[in-house]
């Protein structure tokens, strides 16, 4: 059954788009900012040999670097100024969010309102700078080590000066992306950081399509496989679009209130619980942890001793944790399910929600306020999370398995489709809200004009 918001959106007149000057300015600003982001992805780090990076990128396929390269729009394989993308900010925000749910001091800041959120955002930025510095240094060292081990001169003058310059450049590039994302959020349309991640993924789509159809032209990929892959992608997009909007709405009643004009009728509202509360965090965390041994062995191949206990363990893990291997798929599914329950428990606190309902006089019919309400919310949330975990596992594991079995030379997983579909739906929803507000303003102006004529 269509919701009230869907009915309102279906009645919007898209002809008002040409008259919505502010909306058009916001859209043009967003497109311009994303173009700047794409230009920066082609600006290499100081001291890097761009001609040798392509050969080096071919040798680093399959690791966690390839996952982050997809999110950065190919910036990582080109070693551009924004090679780290906004992933350090995402990691820092998740860590701060988890800490605010577990640490009493940060939890108290979270309850202080706008001032507390501003403080937490400041901590997130500090964490972003710290993670950028650490990741940038190891990326510079790994680039030197990996390139020299494979006989490729990727760095013109390797050494301490290159590493410091790379760290400064990467920190500046990531912080500029954060500033650009904030400008998109305030002056453009949609969430800026999410749009930057989506733009990076969408920028890789032409490469994926070229590799797919080039395989069909050369005969390495059959026509039936290409058709099956396209059908799978379309089916996943439809499934994601349907499930991501699914909610379990709990009825919340508020008692009648006495005012100067008399009694006010009791108010009924709904507490929406998303089917996929954890979002795209579980597959990102699970895949990052599983691909970490392969990445370590790739960047440390020059100094990794296969006869040592550590080197032998890393190489053995690589054999079992390769794409398409049964153990990799099993651990990937277990990781998604674990992080789905863990992150849901972090972002949604049933006791806090029950206390807020009790303070505002709200209650769920048939459930006592307080602890009973918290237990009921936890019960419902657990059942919803089970379905959400199964959905996430299916969306992320099935494409990985099919791509590995078929041998398609692309990295287009369910995580990328999740991000693209979610951000697209949210952006379209904001555009519809602006159009509805503009249409509502026009109705008010027409009503005032009619009133003056009378």
DSSP states along 399-412: HHHHHHHHT-S---
Claim to verify: residue 283 and residue 224 sit in the same structural domain: yes
Q: How confident is the model at residue 386 (pLDDT cuts 50, 70, 90)?
A: very high
The H or E element that residue 68 is part of is: helix 64-71
Can you tell me the mean pLDDT for 83-91? 85
168-210 residue pLDDT tens: 999 999 999 999 999 998 998 888 888 998 888 888 888 888 8
Claim to verify: residue 48 and residue 103 sit in the same structural domain: yes
- Please count the other Cβ atoms lying within 10 Å of the Cβ belonging to residue 272: 9
Q: Look up tokens 């916001």; give the residue.
A: 26
**Domain count along the chain:** 2
Query: Where is pLDDT greater, at 411 or 336?
Result: 336
Q: Look up tokens 């650009």; give the residue.
A: 180
Give the N- to C-terminal CA distance of the chain in Å, as an integer: 42
The strand pairing partners of 267, in sequence order, are: 254
Q: Is the pLDDT of residue 1 over 70?
A: no
Would residue 303 count as lying in a domain? yes
Is the separation of the CB atoms in 242 and 387 below 8 Å?
Answer: no
Would you say the pTM of this structure is higher than 0.85? no
Q: How far apart are CA 113 and CA 98, in angstroms?
A: 18
Is the separation of the CB atoms in 368 and 377 below 8 Å?
Answer: no
CA angle 194, 198, 200 (to 5 degrees): 120
Q: Is the pLDDT of residue 411 over 70?
A: no
Claim to verify: residue 198 and residue 229 sit in the same structural domain: no
Main-chain dihedrals φ then ψ at residue 126, nearest 5 degrees: -60, -45
Return the percentage of the chain with pLDDT > 90, whole number.
13
Claim to verify: residue 241 and residue 312 sit in the same structural domain: yes
pLDDT of residue 262: 55
Would you state the structure tokens that stand for residue 68, as one six-digit string? Answer: 């982050």
Per the structure, the complete domain to which residue 52 belongs is given by: 21-203
Helix, strand or coil, per DSSP, at residue 220: coil
235-249 residue pLDDT tens: 888 998 888 888 888
Q: How far apart are CA 302 and CA 295, in angstroms?
A: 13
Would residue 435 count as lying in a domain? no
Look up the CATH number of the domain holding residue 406.
1.10.3370.10
């Amino acid at each position: 059954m269509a919701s009230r918001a869907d009915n309102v959106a279906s009645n919007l007149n898209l002809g008002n788009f040409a008259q919505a000057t502010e909306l058009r300015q916001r859209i043009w600003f967003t497109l311009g900012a994303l173009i700047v982001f794409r230009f920066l992805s082609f600006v290499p780090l100081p001291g890097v040999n761009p001609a040798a990076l392509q050969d080096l990128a071919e040798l680093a396929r399959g690791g966690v670097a390839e996952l982050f390269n997809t999110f950065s729009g190919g910036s990582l394989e080109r070693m551009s100024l924004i090679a780290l993308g906004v992933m350090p900010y995402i990691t820092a925000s998740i860590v701060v969010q988890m800490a605010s749910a577990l640490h009493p001091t940060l939890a108290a800041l979270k309850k202080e309102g706008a001032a507390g959120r501003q403080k937490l955002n400041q901590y997130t930025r500090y964490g972003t700078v710290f993670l950028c510095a650490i990741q940038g240094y190891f990326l510079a060292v790994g680039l030197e080590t990996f390139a020299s081990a494979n006989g490729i001169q990727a760095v013109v003058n390797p050494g301490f000066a290159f590493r410091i310059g790379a760290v400064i450049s990467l920190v500046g590039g990531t912080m500029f992306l954060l500033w650009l994302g904030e400008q998109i959020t305030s002056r453009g349309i949609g969430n800026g950081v999410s749009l930057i991640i989506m733009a990076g993924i969408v920028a890789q789509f032409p490469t994926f399509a070229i590799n797919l159809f080039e395989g069909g032209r050369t005969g390495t990929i059959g026509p039936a496989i290409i058709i099956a892959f396209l059908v799978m992608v379309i089916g996943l997009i439809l499934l994601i679009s349907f499930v991501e909007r699914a909610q379990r709405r709990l009825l919340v009643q508020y008692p009648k209130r006495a005012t100067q004009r008399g009694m006010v009728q009791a108010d009924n509202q709904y507490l929406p619980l998303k089917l996929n509360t954890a979002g795209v965090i579980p597959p990102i965390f699970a895949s990052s942890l599983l691909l970490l041994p392969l990445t370590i062995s790739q960047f440390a191949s020059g100094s990794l001793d296969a006869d040592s206990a550590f080197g032998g363990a890393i190489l053995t893990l690589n054999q079992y944790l390769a794409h398409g291997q049964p153990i990799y798929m099993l651990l990937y599914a277990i990781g998604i399910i674990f992080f789905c329950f863990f992150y849901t428990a972090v972002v949604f606190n049933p006791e806090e929600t029950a206390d807020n309902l009790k303070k505002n006089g709200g209650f769920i019919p048939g459930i006592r306020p307080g602890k009973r309400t918290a237990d009921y919310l936890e019960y419902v949330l657990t059942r919803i999370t089970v379905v959400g975990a199964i959905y996430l596992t299916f969306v992320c594991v099935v494409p990985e398995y099919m791509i590995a079995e078929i041998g398609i030379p692309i990295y287009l997983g369910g995580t990328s489709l999740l991000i693209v579909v979610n951000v697209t739906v949210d952006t379209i929803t904001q555009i519809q809200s602006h159009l509805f507000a503009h249409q509502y303003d026009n109705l008010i102006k027409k009503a005032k004009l009619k009133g003056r004529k009378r």
